[in-house]
Chains A and B, each alone.
Chain A
Amino acid sequence: MENTSAYQNDLNLKATELRLGLPGTTDEETAVPGVRNNKRPLQEVAAAADEKCGANGKSAPPSKAQIVGWPPVQSYRKNNLPAKKPETEAGIYVKVSMDGAPYLRKIDLRVYKGYSELLQALENMFKFTAGEYSEREGYKGSDYAPTYEDKDGDWMLAGDVPWQMFITSCKRLRIMKGSEARGLGYGTV
Chain B
Amino acid sequence: MFWGSRKTIDMNYFPDEVLEHVFDFITSHKDRNSVSLVCKSWYKIEKYSRQRVFLGNCYSISPERLIARFPGLKSLILKGKPHFADFNLVPDDWGGFLYPWIKAMAKSRIGLEELRLKRMVVSDESLELLSESFPNFKSLVLVSCEGFTTDGLAAIAANCRFLRELDLQENEVEDHRGYWLSCFPGSCTSLVSLNFACLKGEINLASLERLVARSPNLKSLRLNRAVPFDTLQRLLIRAPQLVDLGTGSYIHDPSSEAYNKLKAAIQNCNSIRSLSGFLEVAPCCMPAIYPICENLTFLNLSYAAGLQSNELTRLIHHCRKLQRLWILDCIGDKGLGVVASTCKELQELRVFPSDPFDAGNAAVTEEGLVLVSEGCPKLNSLLYFCQQMTNAALITVAKNCTNFIRFRLCILDPIKPDPVTNQPLDEGFGAIVRSCKGLKRLSLSGLLTDQVFYYIGMYAKKLEMLSIAFAGNSDKGMLYVLNGCKKLRKLEIRDCPFGDTALLEDMGKYETMRSLWMSTCEVTLGACKVLAKKMPSLNVEIINESEQTEFNLDDRQKVDKMYLYRTLVGHRKDAPEFVWLL
Contact = CB atoms under 8 A, between A and B. Distances in A.
B352 interface: yes
Contacts of B416: 46, 49, 61
A58 B365 contact: yes
Interface in A40-80: 42-43, 46, 49-50, 53-54, 56-64, 67-80
Given A64-B360, A71-B359, A161 B253 contact: yes
A53 B251 contact: no
Interface string B119-162: 00000000000000000000000001000000000000000000
B470 A39 contact: yes
A76 B171 contact: yes
Contact of A42 (B86, B89, B282, B415): B415
Contact of A71 (B253, B410, B467): B410
Contacts of B513: none
Interface residues of B, number: 61
A90 interface: no
B470 A42 contact: yes
A24 B554 contact: yes
A68 B548 contact: no
B87 A69 contact: yes
A72 B86 contact: yes
Nearest to B418: A53
A25 to B, nearest CB: 8
B419 A58 contact: yes
A68 B89 contact: yes
Contact of A162 (B253, B353, B360, B557): B253
A189 interface: no
A165 B251 contact: yes
A32 B558 contact: yes
A162 B282 contact: yes
B419 A59 contact: yes
A20 interface: no
B86 A75 contact: yes
B557 A28 contact: yes
Interface stretch (A81-89, A114-122, A124-132, A140-148): A81-89
Contacts of B353: 71, 73
Interface string B358-376: 1110000100000000000
A161 to B, nearest CB: 7
A23 interface: yes
Contacts of B189: none
Nearest to A64: B359
B560 interface: yes
A8 interface: no
Contact of A76 (B84, B198, B546): B198
A162 B283 CA distance: 13
Contacts of A70: 87, 359, 414, 469
B414 A28 contact: no
Contacts of A72: 86-87, 410, 443, 467, 469
Given A71-B356, A72-B87, A32 B365 contact: no
B545 A28 contact: no
Contacts of A24: 548, 552-554, 557
B92 to A, nearest CB: 11
Nearest to A63: B360
Contacts of A54: 422
B297 interface: no
B385 interface: yes
Contacts of A165: 251-253, 282
Given A63-B360, A67-B414, A70-B87, A56 B419 contact: yes
Residue in A23, A38, A81 with the greatest tally of chain B CB atoms within 10 Å: A81
Interface string B311-354: 00000000000000000000000000000000000000000111
Interface in B143-202: 144, 170-172, 198
Contact of A57 (B253, B410, B420, B552): B420
Among A53, A58, A72, chain B packs the most CB atoms within 10 A around the CB of A72
A53 B546 CA distance: 39
B355 interface: yes
A35 interface: yes
A126 B106 CA distance: 69
A24 B525 CA distance: 12
A95 B395 CA distance: 60
Nearest to B330: A84
Interface string B275-309: 00000101000000000000000000011011000
Given A42-B415, A72-B86, A83 B144 contact: no
Contacts of B494: 69
B520 interface: yes
Contacts of B387: 58, 61
A131 to B, nearest CB: 22
A24 to B, nearest CB: 5
Nearest to B169: A76
Contacts of A162: 251-253, 282
A107 to B, nearest CB: 23
B527 interface: no
B86 A74 contact: yes
A35 to B, nearest CB: 6
Given A61-B387, A64-B414, A75-B86, 7 more contacts: A23-B547, A43-B415, A49-B417, A71-B353, A71-B359, A77-B356, A161-B253
Interface of A: 22-24, 28, 31-33, 35-36, 38-39, 42-43, 46, 49-50, 53-54, 56-64, 67-84, 161-162, 164-165
12 contacts: A23-B548, A24-B552, A31-B557, A42-B414, A61-B388, A63-B358, A71-B385, A71-B412, A76-B86, A76-B171, A77-B302, A162-B282
